[in-house]
Amino acid sequence: MRLGFDGTCLANRRGFGRFARRLLAAVAPRAVDRGHEVVVVIDGPSAATVELPEGVEPIVVGVRESPSAAASARGRRGLLDMLAMGRAVSRAKLDLMYFPATYSFYPVWGVPRVVVTMHDTLTLEHPELVFPTRRGRAAWTLKEWVARRSSDRIVTVSETSKRYLMDRLGLDADRLRIVGEAADPAFRPLRDEARADEALGRYGVPAGSRFLLYVGGLSPHKNLLRLVEAFAAATPDDVLLVLTGDFQDVFHTHVPEIRGAIARLGLEGRVLLPGFVPDEDLVALYSRTYALVFPSLLEGFGLPAVEAMACGAPVVASRAGSLPEVVGDAGLFFDPLDVPDMAAALDAILRDPDLRDALAARALRRSATFDWDRSATALLACFEELAPRGSSSRTTRGVRATGEELGLNETARDAHLNDRRSRE
C-alpha cells in the first residue's frame, strides 16, 4: 500500500504533535519493512523544523500559514490552504491517508481510504473552555464532523476515549481502533545530579527543594485555578508548585487568570510559571519532583503522566477521563471539581513519604507497559485491514462530506462525485 501520513501537526509542541512525531518514527520503518510506501505530506512553513524518519517520501506543500499555527482555538484556517493540501494528497496516488489528529485535518479526495485519530471528546464536554469564540467552536465542529464522515476507521488513544466516542457520537465499535501512547525513550530517571541541578536552576527551582509539578497546556480545561486553590489549602510553606506550559500556545489559555489566582492567594514565591520546558530539561523536573499533579477536567490519554512515571514520579490525578486507566496503581485520585478532595490527595502524599516511594516504584513498572512499538503495530494493523481487494473504494458518504467541506458548488460537487465513481 501507498500510505499517506499528515505531517502538518508534527511541528506542534503540545500532545498532538508529540503523538504524531513518535507514532511516525515508530510506524514508518515497520511499514517499509512490510513493503509499504510511506508518504508524509507536510506544509512548507513547517518543513524546515521537522525531522522525518529515513525511508519516507516527503511532499512539501506551499501554504500561507502553517496548520500547526492556524488550526487554533479561533479557527483561522484558510480554505485556500486546505485546498492546496487536499490537491497535493489527491495527486500522490495514495491507497490510504492517515491524520494523527482532527486538529490538522483537511478534506482529501482521490484517496480510497481515510483513517483519522480522535483523541477525546473534550470539545463536546467543555466547548466553552476550549474555544473562546463562537467562530472557533463552529469551525472545529464542522471540521470534526467532516473528519468523522470521511473516515473509514477512527483511531483513539484509550479505552476510555473509545467509550466516550461511542456514547457521545454514536460511533460503532467496529469503526474504532485503539492506538495508545508511550513516553519518549528520553524520559527515564536522571541520575546525573549536576545536570539536574543545572536544569532546575534555569526555571527558578532551588536544588534540594520539594516541589509538585504540572506539565501540559495552560488552558481552562486543565483546571489549574482549582489546583492553585488546593495547593494553597493543603501544602506546607516549604513545598513549591511548578506549572509548566507554553505561553505562545495557539490554543485557548488563561495565563492572566492563573497569575491572578496566585497573587490573590499570596503564593507568588511558591507557585512558579516557567513557560515551555524542552524535553532535555523536563526529564530533570520529572526526575526530581515529589509528584506530578494532573487536575484536568478531561484527558483522552494523559501523556505527561506516563512520562512522569517513566522518570520514577508518582501521579496525583483527576478521576475524569482516561487518567485512572493510564495511571492505574501508581497514583492517587481526586474529583477535579472538588477543591477539598484535591487538597486531601495532595496532603496525603506529602504527609506520607513511604506512600510516595511505594507509588514511585509502581510508576516505573507501570510506565513499562506503554510502548510506541506496540502502538505502531496496532496502527499498521488498522491500515492493513483496509488494504484494497482488487479495486478499493471510499464510501459515497465520505466523498459527499468532503465535497461539502470544500465549499464546491452543486455542479462541481456532482462532477467531483461522478469522477470518483468512474474511478471506482
Bridge-based pairing of strands 96-99 and 2-6 is: parallel
Cell of 232: 494553597
Q: Three-state SS for 334? A: strand
Task: Cite the DSSP H helix spans in 158-311.
Answer: 159-169, 193-202, 224-234, 255-264, 279-288, 303-310
Residue 187 domain-assigned (yes or no): no
Q: Which helix (H) or strand (E) holds 128?
A: helix 127-130
Residues 205 and 99 in one domain: no
Total number of domains in the chain: 2
DSSP string for 6-54: E-TTTT--SHHHHHHHHHHHHHHHHHHHTT-EEEEEEEHHHHTT-PPPT
pTM of the model: 0.86
Residues 393 and 326 in one domain: no
Residue 351 belongs to domain with CATH number = 3.40.50.2000
Query: Among 297, 332, 292, which Cα is nearest to 312's?
Result: 292
Residues 213 and 351 in one domain: yes
Residues 76 and 200 in one domain: no
Question: What is the dihedral angle through the alpha carbons of 97, 100, 106, 111, rounded to the nearest 10 degrees?
Answer: 10
Q: DSSP class of residue 59?
A: E
Residue 388 domain-assigned (yes or no): yes
C-alpha distances out from residue 94 to 39, 89, 343, 382, Å: 8, 7, 52, 16
Residues 395 and 379 in one domain: yes
Residues 363 and 376 in one domain: no
The answer to whether residues 125 and 322 touch, using CB atoms and an 8 Å cutoff, is: no
Where a domain ends, among 350, 367, 384?
A: 367
Res 157: pLDDT: 96
Rounded CA-CA distance 389/392 in Å is 6
First to last CA, the chain: 17
- Domain of 201, in residue numbers: 193-367
Residue 299 domain-assigned (yes or no): yes
Residues 136 and 18 in one domain: yes
The count of other CB atoms within 10 Å of the CB of residue 209 is: 13
Q: Three-state SS for 341? A: helix
Residues 155 and 226 in one domain: no
> Within 13 Å of residue 73, how many CA atoms lie on the same side as its CB?
20
Residues 76 and 40 in one domain: yes
Residue type, 1: M
Residues 268 and 304 in one domain: yes
Query: Residue 233: which residues within 8 A CB-CB, separation 6 or more?
Result: 339, 340, 343
The answer to whether residues 270 and 292 touch, using CB atoms and an 8 Å cutoff, is: no
Cell of 101: 489528529
Where a domain ends, among 352, 367, 382?
A: 367
Rounded CA-CA distance 302/324 in Å is 10
C-alpha distances out from residue 300 to 4, 186, 320, Å: 24, 23, 10
Res 400: pLDDT: 30
Where a domain ends, among 367, 391, 407?
A: 367
**Could you identify the residue written with the cell 510508576?**
363
Query: Residue 149: which residues within 8 A CB-CB, separation 6 or more?
Result: 397, 398, 400, 401
Written as tens digits, the pLDDT of the chain (424 aa) is 999 999 998 988 777 889 999 999 999 999 999 999 999 999 888 888 889 999 999 999 988 877 766 655 455 567 888 899 999 999 999 999 999 998 889 999 999 999 999 998 887 887 777 777 777 777 778 888 888 999 999 999 999 999 999 999 999 999 999 999 999 999 999 999 999 999 999 999 998 899 999 999 999 999 999 999 999 999 999 999 999 998 876 676 789 999 999 999 999 999 999 999 999 999 999 999 999 999 999 999 999 999 999 999 999 999 999 999 999 999 999 999 999 999 999 999 999 999 999 999 999 999 999 999 999 999 999 999 998 774 333 333 333 333 333 333 333 333 333 333 333 3
Residue 188 domain-assigned (yes or no): no
Residues 327 and 379 in one domain: no
Res 74: pLDDT: 52
Residue 29 domain-assigned (yes or no): yes
Residues 133 and 223 in one domain: no
Residue 287 domain-assigned (yes or no): yes
Helix orientation angle between 193-202 and 279-288, rounded to the nearest 10 degrees: 110
Handedness of CA 256, 261, 265, 270 (dihedral sign): negative
The count of other CB atoms within 10 Å of the CB of residue 127 is: 15
Handedness of CA 4, 165, 79, 104 (dihedral sign): negative
